[in-house]
Protein backbone atom coordinates (compact mmCIF):
# COMPACT_ATOMS: atom_id res chain seq x y z
CA UNK A 1 0.00 0.00 0.00
CA UNK A 2 1.46 3.38 -0.94
CA UNK A 3 1.23 6.37 1.34
CA UNK A 4 -1.52 8.73 0.15
CA UNK A 5 -0.84 12.41 -0.40
CA UNK A 6 -3.23 15.05 -1.75
CA UNK A 7 -2.22 16.67 -5.02
CA UNK A 8 -2.20 20.31 -5.95
CA UNK A 9 0.74 19.62 -8.25
CA UNK A 10 2.05 16.28 -9.53
CA UNK A 11 1.83 13.13 -7.45
CA UNK A 12 4.04 10.21 -8.42
CA UNK A 13 3.54 6.62 -7.33
CA UNK A 14 6.65 4.50 -6.92
CA UNK A 15 7.02 1.58 -9.33
CA UNK A 16 6.56 -0.89 -6.52
CA UNK A 17 3.45 0.68 -5.05
CA UNK A 18 -0.01 -0.83 -4.85
CA UNK A 19 -3.35 0.66 -3.90
CA UNK A 20 -6.92 -0.28 -3.00
CA UNK A 21 -10.19 1.17 -4.19
CA UNK A 22 -10.99 2.39 -0.67
CA UNK A 23 -8.45 5.21 -0.86
CA UNK A 24 -9.66 8.76 -0.39
CA UNK A 25 -9.62 10.97 -3.49
CA UNK A 26 -6.16 11.99 -4.68
CA UNK A 27 -7.34 15.40 -5.83
CA UNK A 28 -9.21 17.59 -3.40
CA UNK A 29 -8.24 20.85 -5.06
CA UNK A 30 -9.96 22.07 -8.21
CA UNK A 31 -6.59 22.97 -9.72
CA UNK A 32 -3.31 21.16 -10.15
CA UNK A 33 -1.85 18.54 -12.44
CA UNK A 34 -1.97 14.83 -11.77
CA UNK A 35 0.85 12.49 -12.81
CA UNK A 36 0.71 9.02 -11.28
CA UNK A 37 2.05 5.62 -12.18
CA UNK A 38 2.20 2.40 -10.26
CA UNK A 39 0.74 -0.99 -9.50
CA UNK A 40 -2.81 -1.17 -8.19
CA UNK A 41 -4.50 -4.18 -6.60
CA UNK A 42 -7.09 -5.21 -9.21
CA UNK A 43 -8.73 -8.62 -9.51
CA UNK A 44 -6.49 -10.16 -6.89
CA UNK A 45 -3.21 -9.19 -8.62
CA UNK A 46 -1.14 -6.04 -9.06
CA UNK A 47 -1.87 -4.24 -12.34
CA UNK A 48 -0.07 -1.26 -13.89
CA UNK A 49 -1.90 2.05 -14.22
CA UNK A 50 -0.69 5.48 -15.32
CA UNK A 51 -2.68 8.72 -14.95
CA UNK A 52 -1.94 12.09 -16.50
CA UNK A 53 -3.87 15.34 -16.77
CA UNK A 54 -3.52 19.08 -16.39
CA UNK A 55 -6.22 19.49 -13.76
CA UNK A 56 -7.66 17.32 -11.04
CA UNK A 57 -11.06 18.76 -11.89
CA UNK A 58 -11.13 17.32 -15.42
CA UNK A 59 -13.15 14.23 -16.39
CA UNK A 60 -11.31 10.91 -16.40
CA UNK A 61 -10.90 8.78 -19.55
CA UNK A 62 -10.17 5.08 -19.03
CA UNK A 63 -8.29 3.78 -22.09
CA UNK A 64 -8.99 0.11 -22.91
CA UNK A 65 -6.15 -0.91 -25.19
CA UNK A 66 -6.21 -3.43 -27.99
CA UNK A 67 -4.28 -6.55 -28.76
CA UNK A 68 -5.23 -7.75 -26.14
CA UNK A 69 -1.46 -7.74 -25.60
CA UNK A 70 -0.70 -4.20 -26.77
CA UNK A 71 -0.89 -1.66 -23.91
CA UNK A 72 -0.57 1.96 -24.99
CA UNK A 73 1.13 3.16 -21.82
CA UNK A 74 4.62 3.23 -23.48
CA UNK A 75 3.24 5.57 -26.17
CA UNK A 76 0.73 7.56 -24.12
CA UNK A 77 2.50 10.93 -24.25
CA UNK A 78 2.66 10.91 -28.06
CA UNK A 79 -0.85 9.56 -28.63
CA UNK A 80 -2.84 11.20 -25.84
CA UNK A 81 -0.67 14.05 -24.55
CA UNK A 82 -2.78 16.65 -26.34
CA UNK A 83 -5.87 15.44 -24.48
CA UNK A 84 -4.45 16.25 -21.04
CA UNK A 85 -5.65 19.85 -21.04
CA UNK A 86 -9.33 18.83 -21.03
CA UNK A 87 -9.17 15.29 -19.61
CA UNK A 88 -7.33 13.09 -17.15
CA UNK A 89 -6.17 10.15 -19.27
CA UNK A 90 -5.65 6.71 -17.72
CA UNK A 91 -3.63 3.91 -19.29
CA UNK A 92 -4.13 0.40 -17.90
CA UNK A 93 -1.88 -2.54 -18.76
CA UNK A 94 -4.50 -5.28 -18.69
CA UNK A 95 -4.04 -8.64 -17.01
CA UNK A 96 -1.41 -10.64 -18.91
CA UNK A 97 0.13 -7.64 -20.71
CA UNK A 98 3.04 -5.24 -20.41
CA UNK A 99 4.09 -4.13 -16.95
CA UNK A 100 1.22 -6.09 -15.40
CA UNK A 101 2.54 -9.28 -17.00
CA UNK A 102 6.00 -8.60 -15.56
CA UNK A 103 4.68 -7.94 -12.05
CA UNK A 104 1.94 -10.59 -11.98
CA UNK A 105 3.04 -13.21 -14.48
CA UNK A 106 0.21 -15.70 -15.03
CA UNK A 107 0.83 -19.46 -15.10
CA UNK A 108 1.90 -20.52 -18.59
CA UNK A 109 -1.03 -22.91 -18.93
CA UNK A 110 -3.67 -20.36 -17.83
CA UNK A 111 -5.85 -18.40 -20.22
CA UNK A 112 -7.62 -15.07 -20.08
CA UNK A 113 -11.40 -14.79 -20.34
CA UNK A 114 -13.67 -11.94 -21.40
CA UNK A 115 -15.55 -12.18 -18.11
CA UNK A 116 -12.38 -11.92 -16.03
CA UNK A 117 -11.07 -9.00 -18.07
CA UNK A 118 -14.47 -7.28 -17.90
CA UNK A 119 -14.50 -7.59 -14.13
CA UNK A 120 -10.94 -6.24 -13.95
CA UNK A 121 -11.95 -3.25 -16.06
CA UNK A 122 -14.98 -2.53 -13.91
CA UNK A 123 -12.79 -2.64 -10.81
CA UNK A 124 -10.32 -0.21 -12.44
CA UNK A 125 -13.21 2.17 -13.20
CA UNK A 126 -14.40 2.01 -9.59
CA UNK A 127 -10.87 2.59 -8.35
CA UNK A 128 -10.50 5.69 -10.55
CA UNK A 129 -13.85 7.12 -9.48
CA UNK A 130 -12.91 6.72 -5.82
CA UNK A 131 -9.35 7.92 -6.23
CA UNK A 132 -10.23 11.06 -8.17
CA UNK A 133 -13.53 11.89 -6.56
CA UNK A 134 -15.70 11.23 -9.62
CA UNK A 135 -19.07 9.56 -9.91
CA UNK A 136 -18.30 8.26 -13.40
CA UNK A 137 -15.50 7.99 -15.95
CA UNK A 138 -15.41 7.99 -19.77
CA UNK A 139 -14.85 4.62 -21.43
CA UNK A 140 -12.60 4.45 -24.52
CA UNK A 141 -11.87 1.21 -26.38
CA UNK A 142 -10.10 0.21 -29.60
CA UNK A 143 -10.01 -3.16 -31.43
CA UNK A 144 -9.87 -5.79 -28.66
CA UNK A 145 -10.56 -2.88 -26.33
CA UNK A 146 -13.79 -2.24 -28.24
CA UNK A 147 -14.96 -5.75 -27.30
CA UNK A 148 -14.02 -5.36 -23.66
CA UNK A 149 -15.37 -1.81 -23.52
CA UNK A 150 -18.85 -2.82 -24.70
CA UNK A 151 -18.93 -5.70 -22.19
CA UNK A 152 -18.04 -3.21 -19.43
CA UNK A 153 -20.65 -0.69 -20.61
CA UNK A 154 -23.36 -3.35 -20.60
CA UNK A 155 -22.36 -4.78 -17.21
CA UNK A 156 -22.06 -1.53 -15.24
CA UNK A 157 -23.39 1.51 -17.12
CA UNK A 158 -23.67 3.45 -13.84
CA UNK A 159 -19.87 3.81 -13.86
CA UNK A 160 -19.58 5.53 -17.24
CA UNK A 161 -20.51 8.89 -18.77
CA UNK A 162 -20.27 7.44 -22.28
CA UNK A 163 -18.50 4.91 -24.48
CA UNK A 164 -16.23 5.90 -27.38
CA UNK A 165 -15.15 2.99 -29.57
CA UNK A 166 -12.90 2.75 -32.61
CA UNK A 167 -11.93 -0.16 -34.87
CA UNK A 168 -15.09 -1.70 -33.43
CA UNK A 169 -15.29 -5.49 -33.62
CA UNK A 170 -18.82 -6.91 -33.50
CA UNK A 171 -19.16 -10.62 -34.31
CA UNK A 172 -16.35 -13.14 -34.79
CA UNK A 173 -17.77 -15.03 -37.75
CA UNK A 174 -19.11 -11.97 -39.58
CA UNK A 175 -15.96 -9.91 -38.98
CA UNK A 176 -13.72 -12.77 -40.09
CA UNK A 177 -15.71 -13.58 -43.22
CA UNK A 178 -16.02 -9.95 -44.34
CA UNK A 179 -12.34 -9.24 -43.70
CA UNK A 180 -11.18 -12.32 -45.59
CA UNK A 181 -13.48 -11.66 -48.56
CA UNK A 182 -12.26 -8.07 -48.86
CA UNK A 183 -8.62 -9.11 -48.72
CA UNK A 184 -9.12 -11.82 -51.34
CA UNK A 185 -10.79 -9.27 -53.62
CA UNK A 186 -7.97 -6.75 -53.21
CA UNK A 187 -5.23 -9.32 -53.73
CA UNK A 188 -6.90 -10.72 -56.85
CA UNK A 189 -7.47 -7.25 -58.30
CA UNK A 190 -3.77 -6.47 -57.78
CA UNK A 191 -2.66 -9.90 -59.03
CA UNK A 192 -0.75 -10.09 -55.74
CA UNK A 193 0.46 -13.67 -55.88
CA UNK A 194 2.34 -13.49 -52.58
CA UNK A 195 -0.70 -12.30 -50.63
CA UNK A 196 -2.99 -14.75 -52.43
CA UNK A 197 -0.67 -17.58 -51.45
CA UNK A 198 -0.94 -16.55 -47.79
CA UNK A 199 -4.72 -16.16 -47.88
CA UNK A 200 -5.34 -19.38 -49.79
CA UNK A 201 -2.87 -21.17 -47.56
CA UNK A 202 -4.75 -20.36 -44.34
CA UNK A 203 -8.19 -20.62 -45.96
CA UNK A 204 -11.33 -18.79 -44.93
CA UNK A 205 -11.99 -18.31 -41.21
CA UNK A 206 -12.74 -19.54 -38.61
CA UNK A 207 -9.22 -20.87 -38.17
CA UNK A 208 -7.92 -23.61 -35.91
CA UNK A 209 -4.24 -22.65 -36.33
CA UNK A 210 -3.31 -19.70 -34.05
CA UNK A 211 -0.73 -18.53 -36.60
CA UNK A 212 -3.38 -17.87 -39.24
CA UNK A 213 -4.61 -14.65 -37.63
CA UNK A 214 -1.12 -13.13 -37.65
CA UNK A 215 -0.45 -14.16 -41.25
CA UNK A 216 -3.64 -12.52 -42.45
CA UNK A 217 -3.03 -9.42 -40.33
CA UNK A 218 0.24 -8.83 -42.17
CA UNK A 219 -1.66 -8.88 -45.47
CA UNK A 220 -4.35 -6.51 -44.19
CA UNK A 221 -1.72 -4.04 -42.96
CA UNK A 222 -0.13 -4.09 -46.41
CA UNK A 223 -3.38 -3.11 -48.10
CA UNK A 224 -4.46 -0.62 -45.43
CA UNK A 225 -1.12 1.17 -45.89
CA UNK A 226 -1.95 1.81 -49.56
CA UNK A 227 -5.04 3.90 -48.76
CA UNK A 228 -4.48 5.32 -45.26
CA UNK A 229 -2.32 8.10 -43.88
CA UNK A 230 0.51 6.67 -41.76
CA UNK A 231 0.85 7.64 -38.14
CA UNK A 232 3.91 9.74 -37.28
CA UNK A 233 6.87 7.46 -36.63
CA UNK A 234 7.54 9.34 -33.38
CA UNK A 235 4.29 7.94 -31.95
CA UNK A 236 5.83 4.50 -31.61
CA UNK A 237 8.96 5.48 -29.70
CA UNK A 238 8.57 3.95 -26.24
CA UNK A 239 9.05 6.05 -23.11
CA UNK A 240 12.38 5.30 -21.50
CA UNK A 241 11.07 3.26 -18.55
CA UNK A 242 9.51 0.77 -20.98
CA UNK A 243 12.79 0.18 -22.85
CA UNK A 244 14.73 -1.64 -20.13
CA UNK A 245 15.59 -5.25 -20.99
CA UNK A 246 13.07 -6.55 -18.44
CA UNK A 247 10.27 -4.23 -19.59
CA UNK A 248 10.88 -5.18 -23.23
CA UNK A 249 10.92 -8.88 -22.40
CA UNK A 250 7.72 -8.53 -20.37
CA UNK A 251 5.98 -6.62 -23.18
CA UNK A 252 6.87 -9.28 -25.74
CA UNK A 253 6.00 -12.21 -23.47
CA UNK A 254 2.69 -10.53 -22.60
CA UNK A 255 1.93 -10.12 -26.30
CA UNK A 256 2.48 -13.83 -26.90
CA UNK A 257 0.49 -14.94 -23.86
CA UNK A 258 -2.45 -12.63 -24.56
CA UNK A 259 -2.52 -13.46 -28.27
CA UNK A 260 -2.91 -17.16 -27.55
CA UNK A 261 -5.71 -16.36 -25.09
CA UNK A 262 -7.35 -14.23 -27.78
CA UNK A 263 -7.26 -16.64 -30.73
CA UNK A 264 -6.88 -19.95 -28.85
CA UNK A 265 -4.76 -22.92 -29.82
CA UNK A 266 -7.62 -24.35 -31.89
CA UNK A 267 -9.64 -21.26 -32.68
CA UNK A 268 -11.30 -21.48 -29.27
CA UNK A 269 -10.01 -18.30 -27.62
CA UNK A 270 -11.83 -15.15 -26.55
CA UNK A 271 -12.29 -14.08 -30.17
CA UNK A 272 -14.49 -17.12 -30.82
CA UNK A 273 -16.94 -15.78 -28.22
CA UNK A 274 -17.29 -12.37 -29.88
CA UNK A 275 -20.97 -11.59 -30.47
CA UNK A 276 -21.80 -8.12 -29.16
CA UNK A 277 -25.39 -8.02 -30.46
CA UNK A 278 -26.08 -11.09 -28.32
CA UNK A 279 -25.46 -8.90 -25.24
CA UNK A 280 -28.39 -6.73 -26.29
CA UNK A 281 -28.41 -3.47 -28.22
CA UNK A 282 -30.12 -1.27 -25.62
CA UNK A 283 -27.58 0.85 -23.75
CA UNK A 284 -28.06 3.09 -20.74
CA UNK A 285 -25.16 5.37 -21.71
CA UNK A 286 -24.35 7.40 -24.85
CA UNK A 287 -22.48 5.35 -27.48
CA UNK A 288 -20.08 6.91 -30.00
CA UNK A 289 -17.99 5.30 -32.73
CA UNK A 290 -15.10 6.44 -34.94
CA UNK A 291 -14.35 4.01 -37.77
CA UNK A 292 -11.78 3.82 -40.54
CA UNK A 293 -13.30 3.47 -43.99
CA UNK A 294 -10.45 1.13 -44.94
CA UNK A 295 -10.36 -1.00 -41.80
CA UNK A 296 -9.72 -4.55 -43.04
CA UNK A 297 -9.83 -6.16 -39.59
CA UNK A 298 -13.06 -4.60 -38.33
CA UNK A 299 -14.89 -3.75 -41.59
CA UNK A 300 -16.80 -0.51 -41.06
CA UNK A 301 -20.05 -1.77 -42.62
CA UNK A 302 -20.40 -4.23 -39.72
CA UNK A 303 -19.71 -1.51 -37.16
CA UNK A 304 -22.28 0.71 -38.89
CA UNK A 305 -24.92 -2.04 -38.90
CA UNK A 306 -24.26 -2.61 -35.18
CA UNK A 307 -24.45 1.14 -34.55
CA UNK A 308 -27.78 1.40 -36.34
CA UNK A 309 -29.21 -1.37 -34.15
CA UNK A 310 -28.24 0.41 -30.93
CA UNK A 311 -30.71 2.33 -28.79
CA UNK A 312 -28.99 4.75 -26.41
CA UNK A 313 -29.60 8.18 -24.82
CA UNK A 314 -27.27 9.62 -27.47
CA UNK A 315 -25.20 8.05 -30.20
CA UNK A 316 -22.98 9.05 -33.09
CA UNK A 317 -20.76 7.50 -35.74
CA UNK A 318 -17.96 9.08 -37.79
CA UNK A 319 -16.51 7.28 -40.82
CA UNK A 320 -13.03 8.44 -41.80
CA UNK A 321 -11.31 8.22 -45.18
CA UNK A 322 -7.56 7.60 -45.18
CA UNK A 323 -7.92 5.52 -42.01
CA UNK A 324 -7.56 1.77 -41.50
CA UNK A 325 -7.52 -0.33 -38.34
CA UNK A 326 -4.51 1.25 -36.64
CA UNK A 327 -4.57 4.79 -35.23
CA UNK A 328 -3.36 7.78 -37.20
CA UNK A 329 -3.72 11.53 -36.77
CA UNK A 330 -7.13 11.67 -38.47
CA UNK A 331 -8.48 9.02 -36.12
CA UNK A 332 -7.12 10.64 -32.98
CA UNK A 333 -8.39 14.09 -34.03
CA UNK A 334 -11.89 12.78 -34.74
CA UNK A 335 -12.06 11.05 -31.38
CA UNK A 336 -10.91 14.17 -29.55
CA UNK A 337 -13.56 16.21 -31.37
CA UNK A 338 -16.29 13.85 -30.14
CA UNK A 339 -14.83 13.89 -26.64
CA UNK A 340 -14.86 17.70 -26.49
CA UNK A 341 -18.11 18.40 -28.31
CA UNK A 342 -20.34 15.46 -27.41
CA UNK A 343 -18.99 13.76 -24.29
CA UNK A 344 -17.44 16.58 -22.23
CA UNK A 345 -20.84 18.30 -21.77
CA UNK A 346 -22.22 15.04 -20.37
CA UNK A 347 -19.72 15.15 -17.49
CA UNK A 348 -20.83 18.53 -16.11
For residue 24, pLDDT beyond 70: no
Confidence at residue 78, expressed as pLDDT on a 0 to 100 scale: 97
Query: pLDDT, tens digit, for every residue of 209-267?
Result: 999 999 999 999 999 999 999 999 999 999 999 999 999 999 999 999 999 999 999 99
Q: How far is CA 175 from CA 91, 182, 258, in A?
A: 27, 11, 20
Mean model confidence pLDDT for the chain: 92
Confidence at residue 13, expressed as pLDDT on a 0 to 100 scale: 39
For residue 330, pLDDT beyond 70: yes
Confidence at residue 7, expressed as pLDDT on a 0 to 100 scale: 34
Query: pLDDT, tens digit, for every residue of 265-312?
Result: 999 999 999 999 999 999 999 999 999 999 999 999 999 999 999 999
For residue 1, pLDDT beyond 80: no
For residue 77, pLDDT beyond 70: yes
SS3 string, 90-156, reads EEECCCCCHHHHHHCCCCCCCCCCHHHHHHHHHHHHHHHHHHCCCCCEEEEEECHHHHHHHHHHHHC
**The dihedral of CA 45, 1, 94, 106: what is its sign?**
negative
Confidence at residue 99, expressed as pLDDT on a 0 to 100 scale: 98
Are the CB atoms for 33 and 9 separated by under 8 Å? Answer: yes
Report the C-alpha gap between 69 and 291 in whole angstroms. 21
Mean pLDDT, range 78-92, rounded to an integer:
97
pLDDT tier at 41, thresholds 50, 70, 90 = very high
Residue ranges and CATH numbers for the domains of the chain are 34-171+235-347 (3.40.50.1820), 174-227 (no CATH)
Confidence at residue 11, expressed as pLDDT on a 0 to 100 scale: 34
Query: pLDDT, tens digit, for every residue of 116-158?
Result: 999 999 999 999 999 999 999 999 999 999 999 999 999 999 9
Query: pLDDT, tens digit, for every residue of 99-127?
Result: 999 999 999 999 999 999 999 999 999 99
Amino acid sequence: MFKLSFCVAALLLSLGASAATSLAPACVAKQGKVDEKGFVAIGGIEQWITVRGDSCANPVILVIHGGPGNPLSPFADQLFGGWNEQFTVVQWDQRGTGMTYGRSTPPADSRLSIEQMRDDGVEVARYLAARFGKQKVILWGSSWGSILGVHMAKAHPELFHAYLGTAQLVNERENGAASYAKLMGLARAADDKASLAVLEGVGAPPWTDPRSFGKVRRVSRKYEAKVSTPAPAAWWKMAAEYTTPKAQADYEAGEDYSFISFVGMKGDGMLSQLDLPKLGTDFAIPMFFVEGAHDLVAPPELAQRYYESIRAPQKGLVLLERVGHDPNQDMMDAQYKILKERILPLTR
